[in-house]
């Protein structure tokens, strides 16, 4: 007479979201507001994050802050903006992305060559396919880490650990 098997269901916000799933993270990521009008929702999200909802931030935010989980470089975002008919300079794209990062709407994944911006701002790791360049999320639970803090500089406290698992396909 064992216990009934426990449901292995993870909380919704821990579910890894695939690149184009359009899934958001529930209440944890502040996107649980009425998304029926994406413009109004985005405007409110920018304001809540402490950003003035300028037309450029709304236009560029509409490309990447729409709930779909993705990783992208500033150059890719600039290309997407051109395709969408949004006329901005690459410098404006950089400044806008930096503002989004400073407001915790995005985070930066630092790879060797260039910054990749990430719509998933929860703590997580990454898998980088060196063959295709594809970067995908690897949830925190997938990694068991032992860190001897004695090797850290004196007085330093750990803020975060980002792991990039490099694979070839
Ligand atoms: Zn990620």
Q: Is residue 43 part of a domain?
A: yes
Most confident of 19-23, 100-104, 120-124, 143-147: 100-104
13 Cα to the center of ligand 1, angstroms: 14
Q: Is the pTM of this model over 0.85?
A: no
State how many domains the chain has.
2
Span from the CA of 157 to the centroid of ligand 1 (angstroms): 23
Neighbours of 64 (CB within 10 A): 21
Ligand 1 centroid – CA 156 distance (Å): 25
Query: Pick the residue with more confidence: 71 or 8?
Result: 71
**Residue 109 within a domain:** yes
pLDDT digits (tens, 9 = 90+) for 74-117: 999 999 999 999 999 999 999 999 999 999 999 998 776 778 89
The tens digit of pLDDT for each residue in 60-76 reads 999 999 888 889 999 99
Phi and psi at residue 107, in whole multiples of 5°? -130, 165
Token pair listed for 150: 């004695």
Question: What is the CA angle 39-45-47, rounded to 5?
Answer: 105
Q: What is the mean pLDDT of residues 46-66?
A: 94
- Domain containing 137 equals 123-169
Give 14 Cα–ligand 1 centroid separation in angstroms: 13
């Amino acid at each position: 007479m064992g216990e009934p098997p426990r449901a292995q269901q993870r909380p919704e916000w821990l579910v890894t979201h695939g690149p184009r799933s359009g899934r958001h993270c529930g209440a944890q990521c502040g996107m649980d507001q009425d998304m029926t009008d994406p413009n109004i929702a985005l405007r409110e999200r920018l304001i809540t994050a402490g950003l003035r909802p300028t037309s450029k931030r709304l236009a560029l935010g509409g490309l990447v802050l729409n709930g779909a989980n993705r990783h992208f470089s500033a150059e890719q975002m600039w290309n997407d903006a051109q395709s969408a008919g949004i006329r901005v300079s690459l410098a404006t794209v950089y400044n806008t992305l930096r503002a989004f990062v400073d407001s915790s709407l995005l985070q930066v994944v630092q790879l060797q060559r260039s910054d990749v911006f990430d719509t998933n701002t929860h703590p997580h790791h990454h898998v980088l396919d060196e063959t295709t360049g594809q970067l995908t999320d690897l949830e925190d639970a997938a990694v068991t880490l032992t860190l001897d803090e004695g090797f850290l500089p004196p007085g330093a406290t750990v803020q975060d650990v980002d792991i990039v698992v490099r694979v070839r396909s």
